[in-house]
Chains A and B, each alone.
Chain A
Amino acid sequence: MIWEQLVLPTLTVLLALGIGAYAVAVLDRLIAGALGLSRAGSAWLAPLARGAWLLTQSANVTEAPDWQAWRLAPLLYLMLAAVGLALVPWSASLVATDLATSVVLWGSVEALATVVIFLHGWSANAPLALIGAYRYVALGLSYILISMFVLIGVALPAESLQFTQVVASQAELWNVIRQPLGLPLFLIVGLGVSFWGPLNLADSTDLAGGTASEVSGPPRLAWNLARAAMLVAFSGVAATVFLGGWLGPWLPGPLWLVLKMFAVLLALLLAGRLLPRLSPERCVTLMWVVLLPLSFVDLVWAGLEALL
């Protein structure tokens, strides 16, 4: 009882967090190397060496920060990633929390991410961090709506807000084919929720690291870890709702999910390295004028498909 309801789910989430975040770091470095941005040392060891360095570095102090919020924000972001991962079903039976409303909970994770990222920038009491925080709020409001419409689209054929039901509804046809607009739109949401690559408006180079510009040492490690973990959590959700989750022949279910998560991660990390950071104004215009109407189209498409 305790094993099945407490230990196993916790272990699954922690393992997925740790291994996943490490895999993100290695994969990103391999991609960077393939694109001509080579760094000395082995890609497998580098994330560990970087982590060890951050652990030995002292945690920075700014003048009169909001201490509790500043130290808590990376941990809250990590917790949001953990909540996301807890919802991902690894097989029909292996799922940390099989909520009847898992789609809704994931939506709230995305919304709370905006709050936490703003908190991280605001609480440092430093100008560049604050600008990063302001910018992220503009972005956050824009992508959450897109995410909602896309997720309602996948809940329609399943007639349920439960991720396991959403997977079961894809037994005949994966949602990526059934609703072709859904996955591309959702991938943009993924870049937004982890403010990665083209949507990295919060921690960008023109702000010397933005919300993380004043952070050093272990809190910075926690922040970087949380960002990687959020990518993993997102890729788990994307693989679940669009790529048929654990479904697939020959291999065991969890392995299928891992492979699909890798595919999503690869797409996100490649986009992160190949595309420039959007200017905030372009970004907001793109979201409201192009992508949001496209998500309406996606929803209408899903509705018609469900009726027929």
Chain B
Amino acid sequence: MAVSWLRRLAARAPVPVFPALGVHGDAMLRELALDPGVELVGSPRHASVLLVAGGVPPDQHAALRRVHDQVPRPFATLWWRSEPLDGLENATRIDAPSALSDALIAAHRDVMLGRRGSSPRLLPDEPPNPWEGLGDDGHGGEGMMGGVPYGRPMAMNMHDDLRDGLTLDSLTFRLGPFFPALPPGMQAEVTLQGDLVQTWAVQHAPYPLGLDAVFFDARQQPVSIAELELARARYHLYRLFHGLWLAGLESVGLHVLRLARSLTPDSRVDGLRRRLARCGFFDLTMTASAALDDEQARQIGGPAARAAGLADDLRSEDANYRRLGFTPVCQQEGNTRARWWQALAEIDQSLALARQAAARDVQTSEVGSVETPRGPWREGQRPQDASHLLDELLPGLEWGEALAAIASLDLAAVSEWPLDASVAEPRTTPPEEYRA
């Protein structure tokens, strides 16, 4: 096939990659975000390569097929620690993280230069339900509003608007499990009027979170407090990166990622906090919405609860933490803004604790239970999924407020498997979660 100059030129563009995240796939995403040869995009329509990172549970294969078919041709797929879907047996599977970036660039180049064909369509190109052609307007039912064309309800006013009584057509649709602004794996059915959320029903909880192995070790044996606190700070920095990306502050987000990557006890976040306050991250991008009441805060636990004024922290029960002068930091309002202030305050506190602990080489004194960055992990009781709380928290919020609230909340359960110590080492015996 003759390769035109246009395709040769196109092959030199940074690779637009749509990441469909499976279980523990977000660790890879953070590596790719810093890769200059890769551009992560938010819609499959804007991608040249579909990257499926991490195992996808079988009940979400249908959704993955739909995402796959939404990528415009020609495109390639790449599977990172994930089994390709039926029908894509020839797709590339990569397990070594160090090879991923090059493989993405090569996949884009090969597709552009015609060295490999586009990934095939998996689904027939037809509506999920037939157009029934019944009724006065061919909408599939009796009367004006009776039908469900293509299997979906017509947009009509079933209930009044929640905010100001200005009733608009209701729009109901499903979001997820691969929508990048939601936690990986989460799927919800949303009803909107305009951009105001009327109802929000979580249909599939987000995938369990992979925590750093040090939090698992801390339940078995005393571990270095410095190491534990650095892992905690890193975890919150990763969350902040997502929040900043969502708010359109990509360059500050990458700064945060770089900080997380090179984090030492001597790192400081004062400059970052000032920069965020100055550019209006706390005041202009979010409103004082999505406040948790005490009961909701208790159900979520961890930083979200402390942002709502509950001073619960298992570290207070550890004698060595008390010797370092630990007391929980708290905010009062419990809303989106308070949760980001809390995240920054906890990063600051963790770094301060790590500094002191590293100087005196202090270890934890309690085993059995540990305060993870997601919340308390008491004897045998991991932090559980709390995503159902969104159903009561989000109605009445504007779309942007709702998504900012979700980004500020950490609702997924904690996985029973730790995240690989570094994604640089391929796992030889994958745990159950990795197998799709």
Contact = CB atoms under 8 A, between A and B. Distances in A.
B74 interface: yes
A197 interface: yes
Contacts of B37: 39-40
A276 B248 contact: yes
Contacts of B398: 279-281
Contacts of B249: 276
User: Chain B CB within 10 Å — which of A49, A52, A198 has the most?
Assistant: A52
A206 to B, nearest CB: 5
Interface residues of B, number: 58
B287 interface: yes
A178 interface: no
Interface stretch (B42-50, B200-208, B412-420): B42-50
B32 interface: no
Interface in B264-284: 279-281, 283-284
B248 A277 contact: yes
Contacts of A63: 127, 150
Given A39-B39, A60-B45, A206-B181, A217 B72 contact: yes
Nearest to A274: B279
Nearest to B172: A127
A48 to B, nearest CB: 6
Given A35-B251, A206-B181, A214-B43, A131 B399 contact: yes
Contact of A60 (B39, B72, B250, B286): B72
Interface in A37-54: 37-41, 45-46, 48-50, 52-53
Contacts of B255: 36
Contacts of B251: 32, 35-37, 273-274
B179 interface: yes
Interface string B132-173: 000000000000000000100000000000000000000101
B48 to A, nearest CB: 7
A54 to B, nearest CB: 8
B400 interface: yes
Contacts of A45: 12
Interface stretch (B3-11, B349-357, B373-381, B424-432): B3-11
B10 A56 contact: yes
A60 B73 CA distance: 9
B45 A215 contact: yes
A166 to B, nearest CB: 33
A55 B247 CA distance: 30
Contact of A49 (B10, B181, B258, B404): B10
B417 to A, nearest CB: 30
Nearest to B247: A276
Interface in A138-197: 197
Interface string B36-66: 1101011101101000000000000000000
Interface string A45-74: 110111011011111100100000000000
| 10 nearest A-B residue pairs (beta carbon) | A277-B248, A49-B13, A53-B10, A52-B9, A216-B72, A208-B42, A52-B10, A35-B251, A208-B43, A40-B37
Interface of A: 32, 35-41, 45-46, 48-50, 52-53, 55-60, 63, 127, 130-131, 134-135, 197-198, 200-201, 204-209, 213-217, 220, 273-282
11 contacts: A49-B9, A49-B13, A50-B13, A130-B171, A197-B248, A205-B248, A206-B181, A208-B42, A220-B46, A276-B249, A281-B287
Given A35-B251, A276-B247, 11 more contacts: A36-B254, A49-B13, A52-B6, A56-B10, A204-B248, A206-B400, A206-B404, A208-B179, A215-B45, A216-B72, A281-B287
